[in-house]
Amino acid sequence: MKNQQVLTLDLSQLEQKEPEIEIHGIIGYEFFEGYDLLIDYKNKKLTLILPKAYQQFKKKHFSNAKLTGIPFQLSGHIPVIQAQIGKKEYALGIDTGAKTNLMADGFFKSFSKHLKKIDIDTLTGLDNNRIHVKSGILKMLKFKEKGKRRDGCVE
């Protein structure tokens, strides 16, 4: 990578949250925007694929796999997908570094009937501030896949 803009900020809060890994910086959208990304959480591997090489990569590594493509729009630098909970559509931002799934609390009433095990939980931010939030297990999430609806379970 060449000619990448870099900003500086105190990141000591990140190091306090994950003391076993010293974090010196964060890379984001400006770095990855020219690539297709494959994030393999199980094997802890990030693969950057040039878009013109994607079909060749797919054929070599995933020839027998069923891949799911979910269309998204960009809101600034955040990929946003359209998802359905019950009969209502929601716009959900994708954050591959987030530890948990979050919904705006103003929507809780509209989707709470689609939750099980509703409880109050404690959420701790990077600044170590703790707040109490409503939580639950979402029974079902539907998302668009290549122009059609596809069911995906959230467990």
Sorted by where each begins, the domain ranges of the chain are: 68-155
Residue-wise pLDDT for 53-74, tens only, equals 999 999 999 888 888 888 889 9
pLDDT of residue 5: 79
Adjacent-strand bridge partners of 81: 92
Nearest to 29, CA basis, from 82, 98, 75:
75
Please give the residue that has the higher pLDDT: either 6 or 42: 42
As a whole number, mean pLDDT of residues 31-36 equals: 89
What number of other Cβ atoms are within 10 A of residue 108's Cβ?
14
Per-residue tokens: 140: 């079902």
| pLDDT value at 2 more than 80 | no
- Distances from the Cα of 26 to the Cαs of 7, 36, 63, 81, 97, in angstroms? 10, 18, 33, 23, 10
pLDDT of residue 43: 94
Using the structure block, give the residue that is written with the tokens 């630098």. 77
As a whole number, mean pLDDT of residues 93-109 equals: 85
Q: Are strands 130-138 and 141-145 parallel, antiparallel or unpaired?
A: unpaired
Q: Is the pTM of this model over 0.85?
A: no
pLDDT of residue 128: 75
For 46-77, give one letter per residue: b (16+ CB within 10 A) or e.
Answer: eeebeeeeeeeeeeeeeeeeeeeeeebeeeee
Nearest to 39, CA basis, from 80, 98, 84:
98
User: 150 and 130 in contact (C-beta within 8 Å)?
Assistant: no
